Amino acid sequence: MKYISFTDEPTIAPDEFFMNEALKEAQKALALDEVPIGAVIVHSGRIIGRGHNLTEQLKDVTAHAEMQAFTAAANYTGGKYLKDCTLYVTIEPCVMCAGASYWTQISRIVYGADDPQRGFSQIKQRITHPKTEVISGIKANEAAQLVKDFFLSKRNKS
């Protein structure tokens, strides 16, 4: 599926479009001096939940971008299940967030860059819901660069 363009601009695939929205959320985290990870949840082509890391602001280790987006989407739908939704997140979800996605029964997870240290794919057994489709690599370079630059700036300050 492509979006119709009424200008000379090229059309953009939905996964790329919504990953750009997740990257905007990551920029919000960066502006707060948080690890720049952002997430959006989409249902029927519409964003119903947004989130970015707030672990430092809230002093809460569970305040990851995905968790913020899950809460926002659940508030929007009025229920805890997100069966016909897609989570777009800039970096591969950690084990906690992937586990939470299991309980939401989300249909798809689309993430940008892999997280070889803390990503859920490091675990040998599947922890996402059996019906959840997982797609990686969408806007991976942009997502990874944000995080790399963030940690590089932290190291340079010390």
Considering the entire predicted model, what is its pTM? Answer: 0.92
> What's the pLDDT score for residue 130?
94
Q: Is the pLDDT of residue 6 over 70?
A: no
Strand stretches in the chain, DSSP E? 38-43, 46-52, 85-91, 108-113, 133-136
Write out pLDDT tens, residues 49-98.
999 999 999 999 999 999 999 999 999 999 999 999 999 999 999 999 99
* Residue % of the chain over a pLDDT of 90: 85
Specify whether the backbone of 77 is left (phi greater than 0), alpha (psi in -120 to 50) or beta. alpha
Q: Coil, strand, or helix at residue 38?
A: strand
- As a whole number, mean pLDDT of residues 24-33 equals 98
Are 63 and 53 contacting, i.e. CB atoms less than 8 angstroms apart?
A: yes
> What's the pLDDT score for residue 96?
97
Sequence-distant (6+) residues with CB within 8 A of 95 are 118, 120, 123, 127
Query: Which one is predicted more confidently, 7 or 47?
Result: 47
Give the catalytic positions in this structure: 66
| Measured distance CA(110)–CA(134) in Å, rounded | 6
Taking Cα atoms as reference points, which of 19, 32, 150 lies closest to residue 89? 19
Write out pLDDT tens, residues 135-156.
999 999 999 999 999 999 888 8
> What's the pLDDT score for residue 114?
97
